[in-house]
Every structure is written in structure tokens, then in C-alpha cells.
């Protein structure tokens, strides 16, 4: 039996943990893909294809523990979704601003 995923309550999510998680370029790219994917993407679709599964798992764990994503097992897949609504209530506009700023930085 696999252990269930642990997700922090939205009131326990700190701005420091969110910023730390998004400071890594790989995790930022994962969050961008999840933000553009709507309802959720499985791990293999959201993570860069060249990353080993153990590294992908680590990045998703950091994002989950920071409170940025929700992970759910569906058969043999893990579906991840961005906690947009919850995070926007906790930190209004922060995630959208970070994603927008990262696009501007990328264009330079």
C-alpha cells in the first residue's frame, strides 16, 4: 500500500516556502505547465522529459510541501494540479505575478 500524499492546509502555507520552491528553474517550469494545463497533468507531462524519475519526484515533493500543488493517485499515475484558488486567497495575485514576471525575464 502506498502512503497518501500530505498537503499543508492553505493557512499553513508560507510565502517563504512558496518563493523557495519557485526559486528553482525546474520547479518554476513545472508550475508554468500546471498553470497552463487547467485541471491537472500527470507527472510525466508536467516535468521535463530529460529528468530522472527520482529527480522529478523530488521536485514534485518540494512543490507539494510548499503548498503549491495537490497530488492525487489515479491508478498508476499521479495527477498534479496547481492550488490556484487556494493560493490566490492566501496570497492574492502572487502566483500570477511570479508567472508573468518569469515570462518577461525569459523574453530578454
Q: Judge whether 69 and 83 are in contact, CB under 8 Å.
A: yes
Contact present, 74 and 81 (Cβ < 8 Å): no
At 48 the pLDDT is 77
Map residue 78 onto helix, strand or coil.
strand
Say yes or no to pLDDT of 89 above 70.
yes
Predicted TM-score (pTM) above 0.85: yes
Determine the average pLDDT of the residues in 80-97.
Answer: 93
Tell me the percentage of the chain whose pLDDT exceeds 70.
Answer: 90
If you average pLDDT over every residue of the chain, what do you get? 88
Full set of structural domains in the chain with CATH: 11-103 (1.10.10.10)
The pLDDT of residue 70 is 93
C-alpha cell at 86: 487556494
pLDDT tens-digit series, residues 15-60? 999 999 999 999 999 999 898 876 556 666 777 778 898 999 999 9
Question: Residue 80: phi, psi to the nearest 5?
Answer: -110, 140
Amino acid at each position: 500500500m502506498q502512503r497518501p500524499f500530505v498537503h499543508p492546509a492553505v493557512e499553513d502555507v508560507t510565502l517563504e516556502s512558496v518563493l523557495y520552491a519557485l526559486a528553482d528553474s525546474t520547479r518554476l517550469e513545472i508550475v508554468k505547465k500546471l498553470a497552463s494545463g487547467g485541471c491537472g497533468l500527470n507527472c510525466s507531462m508536467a516535468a521535463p522529459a530529460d529528468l530522472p524519475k527520482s529527480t522529478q519526484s523530488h521536485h514534485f515533493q518540494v512543490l507539494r510541501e510548499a503548498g503549491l500543488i495537490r497530488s492525487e493517485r489515479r491508478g498508476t499515475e499521479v495527477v498534479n494540479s496547481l492550488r490556484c484558488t487556494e493560493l490566490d486567497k492566501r496570497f492574492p495575485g502572487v502566483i500570477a505575478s511570479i508567472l508573468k514576471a518569469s515570462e518577461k525575464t525569459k523574453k530578454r
